[in-house]
Amino acid sequence: MKKTLLLLLIPMILSACSSMSPEECRSANWQQIGYLDGQNGVNPTVISDYVKDCRDAGVYPDQEMWQRGFEQGTVLYCSADNGYRVGKQGREYYGVCNNERFLENYQKGYQDYLVQKRLNEINKEISDIDTQLRILKNDNENKQQRKTLESRRKELIRERTSLIVPTRSYNLKFSF
């Protein structure tokens, strides 16, 4: 029974890895596909995946048309505002933009993403510690464990505060 189920699932799993079906390969508008890929900032090596997927259908993607569309799509993707948005979402950047402001904003957005991700991790760990402390509240045998948990909780709160409250540095020069 388990072997039969596994044999039935393998083709489904393998087809889920495929980026294009044979029918999609046959009816593809390669410029439009490239445009959408560029607009979404996908890794430009995706064209090699299309080549592999479509080979089985006897179709060879028009790479020139795909590239033309991709370049048109990246015009939208590479806007400075989109750089921050892409970074804030934690999306990977594949180096498809020549716009320096896009990259600067992407890095700012990605930094904000990492801070938010760490804040979420800290909040979860504090919540887990609070649960453990409630369980150990009246347990005199585990005083040391409670102290350790309380100490860790304080460390996490300090870290959370340092992430929330921006650090300011002033470069002041006084001359007399």
Q: Cα(65)–Cα(46) distance, rounded to whole angstroms?
A: 14
Residue 96 counted as domain residue? no
* Inter-residue contact 123 to 160 (CB < 8 Å): yes
Residues 65 and 112 in one domain: no
Confidence category of residue 2, pLDDT binned at 50, 70, 90: very low
The CA-based angle 96-97-99, given to 5 degrees, is 170
d(CA 41, CA 92): 9
Residue 10 lies in a domain: no
Q: Has residue 8 been placed in a domain? A: no
Position 99 in a domain: no
Q: Could you tell me the residue range of the domain that residue 55 belongs to? A: 22-78
* Structural domain count of the chain: 2
Is the residue at 3 inside a domain? no
Q: Is residue 146 part of a domain?
A: yes
The CA-atom distances, in angstroms, between 116 and each of 11, 80, 103 are: 39, 21, 20
Mind listing the pLDDT tens digit for each residue in 101-116?
A: 999 999 999 999 999 9
- Residue-wise pLDDT for 37-78, tens only, equals 999 999 999 999 999 999 988 999 999 999 999 999 999 999
Q: What is the dihedral of CA 107, 110, 112, 118, to 10 degrees?
A: -140
